[in-house]
Amino acid sequence: MSDDRWNTVLVLGGIRSGKSAFAESLVADAPAVRYVATAVGGEDDPEWLARIEEHQRRRPQSWSTEETGADPARLTELIAGAKPDDTLLVDDLGGWVAALLDPARQPNDDPADVAALAAAVRSCTARVVLVSPEVGLSLVPTTPVGRAFADALGTTNQALAEASDGVVLVVAGQPTWLKKTDGDVRRIPQEERIPQEEEPTVALLRPAPVAAPTPAPPPPPALPTVPPVFVTPPTDPDYFTPPTEATVVLSRSAVADALSGQTMSLPLVASGLTKIEPGMDLPLPSTDAGPDARERLVGADLPGGGLGALTEAIEFAASIQDTTTPRPWTSVRVVVISGHHGGGAAAGSDARDTERRVAEAELGVGVLGRLAGQAGADIAVLRVHSAGAMEEGPVAELGAVEAALRQGWQLADDAADAGRDALLLAGIGVGVEAAATAILAATTGAEAAATLPRVLRPGGRFDDHAWMVRCAAVRDALHRIRQEPRGATDLLREIGGLDLAVATGVLLGAAARRVPVLLDGPLGIAAGLIARDLAGQTRHWCLLPEAGTLGMVKQGADVLGLTPVLELGLDLGEGANALAVLPLLRTAIGLASSLPVHPAMLAEQSAAGEDFEIADIAEPGV
């Protein structure tokens, strides 16, 4: 099994559906890919050759190409012989079936060949993505040859769908996951579901890959899970449930049970029975443990001058855990919120590329997935309804904003119930930077033109025209609401949108459960500014691990009183910066807690007759 925790995925789609491009995105982060081409013939067909050339231009130079030609058994041999660290992309099975039905091979036991291919896929330990045409939605072919091809391809697709870990259908460039495995996907009965008209989000939980320790243990058995089904907007969604965790979405009975329980400060917010409003009394971290932990480091047994900027993270961890020897965060959940803002806020955005990155997060691949895997974190992906154009009018209804706040709170509570000791907020969406900048300007009076991030295109190019369009949208939105109320829910309704509302709810719920939140980017900072107006205690549960490169993040953090732990200048995308430095923070916290007092300090204390704690003398665990 690959370190992305899936072996095989079958990608289905019609002609020009975008299935090949999506399949290529699934393996884009692999260091090397063996591209298996199955096309046979077509040398005299210019249009067919042009299609092949288009596919070839998309492939990175690091990819190698193998052709199965007219021998269907060759594909089975390649998959069966693939090694665990190999990555194969087979495009597509239509060519393989055409070779299978070649009259020159008849008579032949075609079903046996299909079964052999399915068996090879089922037992394969490499990472394999198979692309296949979906012909079952068209009319029945009028010719015997056409009917034979459709029947054979349909049979092949069914066999490989059963053998693969995941199955995705691509329509008009939009992927929808189909594969369901008994015991891994739970369908909530219709009568038990929370009314969807009040819930703007669908929460999808996908455990990120966990980096193997050194030395590597024996490979684990294949994980009996599949990528989750994601539906936007939700109508009849399935919720993916990892083997040892509860789903993030509750049924009515679960809501009733949760409302009768207690958190560490407030009742669980899971329905309209409890209202999130300004002035909530949430708990505060310890005011003494943090400074005491910093002071303890002065006398720690270190050969040098100390841990430098990392002391900020140690003091933060000590405050939230109310101890001078805090524990490193061992179970982190990354909450990825994906929203789409319309109007000028979306200028210069590539919606398809954004969707690709969200899909990667759902699979636990890509930059975010790999960093989460190395940190041992899991990922929860949330898709929210699109927001309108902020310059034209309110971007969301008040009822939807209130429901999104409750949903965010519920997600934080679910993470705490699942044993997570820290959350990390990340945003992958369209127009999020502009919406966050509008929130910063509306709450702090900051100048939008000075804080709005530039629009970066692939290849490191900046699109200044798109930036100007975004800036004008923020300016017009602020002018439109100049005489409107500036309460938290008012700003979310007018310019923030539902992604910011969910993020705000996550911060409130995390503070109620005394769970720290690592912020990293525009979404988290804007949510912090909104949450501050609902409960001022929330900012004390937030940490900014890495300053990044965005001026609006630094200015918003300054308003919230958050000092970045590190200033490395990382720009890996929201959430990825914090994940990249998380192992270093853990090391610093663990080291600081394990260090005894320097012997010279003990001698001074003994000579002065001072008392000291036994825990300061002994090594940890003694």
Kindly list the catalytic residues.
55
Q: 191: which 2 tokens?
A: 């009568």
Q: Which of 320, 301, 304 is nearest to 312 (CA)?
A: 320
The answer, yes or no, to whether the previous bond of 111 is cis (omega within 30 of 0) is: no
Q: 39: which 2 tokens?
A: 């096309």
Distances 434 to 111, 119, 355 between C-alpha atoms, Å: 56, 50, 18
Q: 10: which 2 tokens?
A: 């079958």
CA pair distance 518, 579, nearest whole angstrom: 9
- CA dihedral 382→329→527→457, nearest 10 degrees, is -70
Q: Tell me if 518 sits within 8 A of 578, measured CB to CB.
A: yes
Neighbours of 266 (CB within 10 A): 21
How many Cα atoms sit within 13 Å of 207 on the Cβ side? 22
Give the position of tokens 């034979």: 148
Distances 428 to 234, 267, 313, 620 between C-alpha atoms, Å: 19, 30, 26, 41
Question: What's the chain's Rg over C-alpha atoms?
Answer: 27
CA pair distance 357, 413, nearest whole angstrom: 26
Distances 610 to 67, 144, 325 between C-alpha atoms, Å: 79, 97, 21
Q: 619: which 2 tokens?
A: 């090594």
Q: Tell me if 538 sits within 8 A of 508, measured CB to CB.
A: yes
Query: One-letter amino acid identity for 249?
Result: V
Collapse the DSSP code of 50 into the 3-class scheme (helix H, G, I; strand E, B; otherwise coil) and give the result: helix
Collapse the DSSP code of 426 into the 3-class scheme (helix H, G, I; strand E, B; otherwise coil) and give the result: strand
Burial of 12 (0-12, 13-18, 19+ CB in 10 A): buried
Give the position of tokens 């329980």: 261
Q: 163: which 2 tokens?
A: 């053998």
Q: Which of 481, 487, 385 is nearest to 438 (CA)?
A: 481
